[in-house]
């Protein structure tokens, strides 16, 4: 097991991601990484070993500017623990960038298909196959990120919690889940402050920022914007979710 964190808001994303990942360290990991979008470029940094290494490498996140980002601690299942195999992973043109917890069981079959379509691979991970499959459908159908992720979810067998950024959508993060944990948090803007949205493998990662959480179901997707989360089913239709308030027991643990 390992961890995922995501943030869309008005603050600098990287320090929030590092803080969230530190709260997920108990889940175990061998490497860590972050991708932060500054509106022009998606900056990616990865490091093997402790989260502290990634923190130092990015000067506590200050070297990765931007208000939208995803972070990951990896427990290697496909490919050795290395910087190359660490997440985030991205499409060849860096238009799609993703972190993933879980295992893609049919990754070899999907990889063979993508190789036939002209894709190449720089890592040994199942995750790189999944992000390139999403990229493939995104370009093939020229639809929305939800359409592309939907198509990929239908083809992928295995377990996943995904957080995906698309270069074409600088103010958004997309999430999908099957048999791996993930929660989504929200703050609504007030007192002149803008809202934010968060995602994480577990509640402690975002408790510093919000108590208001959605539980994303199996085979569901979400689109995160500042202070706004929309959920979708496998048909791409919007679905309603109840916002819940995190129970007191979590605060005692903090
Ligand atoms: N299967 C992926 C990998 O080996 C993700 C592992 C994880 O859940 O951290 O890179």
Which of 72, 1, 74, 81 lies closest to 36, judged by CA? 72
Task: Dump the DSSP string for 13-44.
Answer: HHHHHHHHHHTTGGG--SEEEEEEE-SS-EEE
Distance 239 CA to ligand 1 centre (A): 29
* pLDDT band per the 50, 70, 90 thresholds, residue 191: confident
pLDDT in tens, 58-72: 999 999 999 999 999
Q: How confident is the model over 114-164, as pLDDT tens digits?
A: 999 999 999 999 999 999 999 999 999 999 999 999 999 999 999 999 999
Atom of ligand 1 nearest to the CA of 76: 4
Kindly list the protein residues whose Cβ atom lies closer than 6 A to any atom of ligand 1: 2, 74-79, 85, 100-103, 125-127
Q: What is the average pLDDT score of the chain?
A: 95
Å from CA of 82 to ligand 1 middle: 12
For residue 72, the CA-to-ligand 1 centroid distance in Å is: 10
Distance CA 6, CA 222 (A): 12
Q: Ligand 1 centroid to 113 CA: how many Å?
A: 21
Atom of ligand 1 nearest to the CA of 1: 8
Residue nearest (by alpha carbon) to ligand 1 atom 9: 74
The residue behind tokens 């995104």 is 138
* pTM of the full structure: 0.96
Q: How far is the CA of 108 from the centre of ligand 1 (A)?
A: 15
Query: First and final CA of the chain: distance in angstroms?
Result: 21
DSSP, collapsed to helix, strand or coil, labels residue 181 as: coil
Peptide bond into 88 cis (omega under 30): yes
With beta carbons less than 8 A apart as the criterion, state whether 96 and 137 touch: no
35-87 per-position pLDDT tens digit: 999 999 999 999 999 999 999 999 999 999 999 999 999 999 999 999 999 99
Tell me which H or E stretch contains 31: strand 31-37
What is the Cα–Cα distance from 159 to 51, expressed in whole angstroms?
24
Q: Measured on CA atoms in the order 183, 167, 35, 2, is the torsion positive or negative?
A: positive
The pLDDT value given to residue 252: 54
């Amino acid at each position: 097991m390992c961890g995922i964190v995501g943030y869309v808001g008005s603050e600098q994303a990287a320090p929030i991601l590092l803080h969230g990942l530190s709260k997920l360290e108990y889940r175990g990991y061998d490497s860590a990484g972050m991708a932060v979008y500054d509106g022009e470029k998606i900056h990616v940094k990865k490091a093997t070993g402790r989260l502290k290494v990634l923190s130092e490498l990015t000067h506590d996140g200050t070297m990765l500017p931007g208000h939208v980002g995803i972070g990951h601690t990896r427990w290697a299942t496909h490919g050795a623990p290395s910087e190359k195999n660490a997440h985030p992973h991205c499409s060849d043109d860096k238009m799609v960038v993703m972190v993933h917890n879980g295992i893609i069981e049919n990754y070899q079959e999907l990889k063979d298909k993508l190789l036939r379509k002209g894709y190449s691979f720089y890592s040994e991970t199942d995750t790189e196959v999944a992000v390139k499959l999403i990229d493939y459908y995104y370009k093939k159908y020229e639809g929305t990120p939800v359409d592309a992720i939907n198509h990929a979810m239908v083809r992928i067998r295995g377990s996943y919690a995904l957080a995906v950024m698309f270069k074409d959508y600088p103010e958004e993060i997309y999430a999908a889940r099957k048999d791996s944990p993930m929660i989504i948090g929200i703050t609504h803007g007030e007192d002149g402050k803008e809202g934010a949205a968060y995602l994480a493998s577990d509640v402690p990662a975002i408790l510093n920022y919000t108590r208001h959480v959605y539980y994303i179901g199996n085979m569901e997707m979400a689109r995160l914007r500042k202070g706004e989360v929309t959920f979708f089913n496998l048909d791409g239709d919007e679905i309603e979710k109840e916002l819940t308030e995190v129970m007191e027991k979590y605060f005692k643990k903090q």
